[in-house]
Amino acid sequence: MTDLMRAVVYERYGSPDGLQLREVPRPAPGPGEVLVEVVAASVNLSDWESLHGAPAYARMGGAFRPSPGRRTLGTDLAGRVAALGEGVTRLAVGDAVFGDIMPRSGAFAEYVAAPEARLVPIPAGLSFTQAAALPQAAAIAVHAVALANPGERMLFNGAGGGSGSLALQLAVAKGVHVTAVDNAGKLDFLRQLGAEDVIDYRRDDFTRRGPFDVIVDAVARRSIFAYRRALASGGRALVVGGTTRAVLRMLTVGALLGRVSGTRLGVLIVHQGPAAFLPIAEQVARGELTVPIDGVYPLEELPQAITRHGEGRANGKVVVAVRADPSA
């Protein structure tokens, strides 16, 4: 094993054109960490936001430019354990593992040092590519669907992405009536996943439809009063992404309006980690769910991969193949 590895890095906030494939020092695992030889890593909205430095909360790793330890994106990964740090007891060299390493990053590289607690063995029957697509998306989907009861009407805005495509399947299996919102190019895809109704957000304002018992918005930009208008009595509207303004308004004014109106308006709190995503991975391995993957790109094509995801053109997840998937 050499002391260098390939990694995609960026030194300034901006467009995907600023991403560069370079040789950089290979990390060493610290106490409680393992070194993972990355096979696959998936693109998340957090990668697009961190690259651009927007919304404002995406600059937590550096106000004016990414800090030296945050210059490689990627948090969801699957690979093999290559080395152990001091105190690691649960994993062994050679184990096939996957997980979400947030708040760290660095998965778009040949190796990454990751906390042992953030990783679990890949279930039998699941490929590295599938496993890499699951952690963040599955955790969001699980928490979103937990808001709805069987027989209720649920709307998911941004349903064609990774979390939405999983949430839609989970909700339908639970007996929830789902309305899925995304662009026109994804509506047939959403119908195939089981959506009872679909809405092209570019042509139709979903907040003038309903009423809905549950609204989950992955790309929040609307006013609090618009969400309230679309809710049934006792309904819940929570955002899980969007502009800084929309998130702050839901945390402040939304909480007040919710108490007055008898509804719940706020931000979906997602507890990341294996407890959230492993049960979904096991369902995928058993064939009970599918993990839609829009495309698989080599590491050197990360700019194209992150652009497709960030521009909202992907049906499901976009995965980056750092090396050949031996399980495919």
For residue 182, is pLDDT > 70? yes
Note whether 251 and 201 are same-domain residues.
yes
Could you give the number of structural domains in the chain?
2
Note whether 96 and 185 are same-domain residues.
no
Note whether 256 and 310 are same-domain residues.
no
216 is written with which tokens?
Answer: 């989950």
Note whether 144 and 51 are same-domain residues.
no
53 is written with which tokens?
Answer: 């430095």
Is 315 a domain residue?
yes
Is 278 a domain residue?
no
State the DSSP code for 220.
B
pTM of the shown model: 0.93
For residue 188, is pLDDT > 90? yes
Is 57 a domain residue?
yes
Segment 102-125 shows an average pLDDT of 96
Is 276 a domain residue?
no
State the DSSP code for 184.
G
Note whether 158 and 204 are same-domain residues.
yes
Whole domain around residue 240: which residue ranges? 137-267
For residue 57, is pLDDT > 80? no
Is there a contact between 169 and 162 (Cβ–Cβ < 8 Å)? no
pLDDT at 117: 96
CATH of the domain at 221: 3.40.50.720
Task: Please give the Cα distance from 115 to 33 (Å, whole number).
Answer: 4
203-231 tens-digit pLDDT: 999 999 989 999 999 988 888 889 999 99
Mean pLDDT of the chain, nearest integer: 93
Note whether 141 and 263 are same-domain residues.
yes
248-278 tens-digit pLDDT: 787 777 777 767 777 888 889 899 899 999 9
Task: Please give the Cα distance from 152 to 110 (Å, whole number).
Answer: 45
* Closest to 51 (Cα-Cα) out of 313, 322, 303, 308: 303
For residue 177, is pLDDT > 80? yes
Is 253 a domain residue?
yes
Is 328 a domain residue?
no
C-alpha R_g of the chain: 20
CATH of the domain at 11: 3.90.180.10
H helix or E strand, kind and range, residue 45: helix 45-52
- Report phi then psi at 214, rounded to 5: -140, 135
- Report phi then psi at 270, rounded to 5: -110, 120
Beta strand spans in the chain (E) = 4-9, 20-25, 33-42, 76-84, 96-100, 111-115, 119-121, 153-157, 177-182, 197-200, 212-217, 231-239, 264-267, 293-298, 317-321
Is 285 a domain residue?
no
Is 279 a domain residue?
no
Note whether 156 and 258 are same-domain residues.
yes
